[in-house]
Amino acid sequence: MEKGRILFLNGVTSAGKTSIVEALQERDDVFFYVVANDLFQEMVGEKFLRENYWKYLSEVIIMMYHTARLYSDMGKNVIIDGILVEREEIAPHYKQLTDILKNNPLDVVEVYCPLDICRKRNIMRGDRGENQSDEQQELMAKNIEYSLRVDTSQHSAAECADIIVRELFS
């Protein structure tokens, strides 16, 4: 059985990852299952997240990568909606991702948006700290091998989805 493609959308909060996921899922030409940091974080009780957020988040992120591998092994395309941060609890994060998915077709897409625009989006959303994107940018893993970069300040989510499918799936 041919393995499904794994598409990791990497970017800070409010960069537009989830909007791109939604645009990709609206398409008729390619189908993806979605695994996301936010969804997997909900598997951990609030009590534990309050006690040691990074410990439990790091554990569940690694489980998310194994879940993506399982779907791929079953021939299903998967989108990972996440952010590759380097914290001691998960370091080396990018290496762990690539080790877990070394036998699967993985494309890491940089979802870029200038931080000043992300700040405005964070304020509009109301459920994120104004400077949360800046803080995540500081923690972002370095030396990531990206297959593609999309800029949500220049393109709509649907246009970014078009770029991704055209460049990586044609």
Q: Using one digit for the tens of pLDDT, what is the confidence trace for 83-111?
A: 999 999 999 999 999 999 999 999 999 99
Q: What is the pLDDT of residue 128?
A: 85
Q: What is the pLDDT of residue 81?
A: 95
CA 74-78-79 angle, to 5 degrees, is: 170
Tell me how far apart the alpha carbons of residues 33 and 76 are, in angstroms, rounded to a whole number.
7
Q: What is the pLDDT of residue 73?
A: 98
Model confidence at 42, in pLDDT bands (50, 70, 90)?
confident
Model confidence at 170, in pLDDT bands (50, 70, 90)?
confident
Percent of the chain whose pLDDT exceeds 90: 85
With beta carbons less than 8 A apart as the criterion, state whether 35 and 9 touch: no
Whether residue 147 is predicted with pLDDT greater than 90 in this model: the reply is: yes
Question: Would you give the DSSP letter of residue 151?
Answer: E
Residue for token digits 């940018």? Answer: 137
Q: What is the pLDDT of residue 75?
A: 97
Whether residue 43 is predicted with pLDDT greater than 90 in this model: the reply is: no
- The mean pLDDT value for 58-75 works out to 96
Radius of gyration over every alpha carbon of the chain, rounded to an integer in angstroms: 16
**Which pTM does this prediction carry?**
0.93
Whether residue 160 is predicted with pLDDT greater than 90 in this model: the reply is: yes
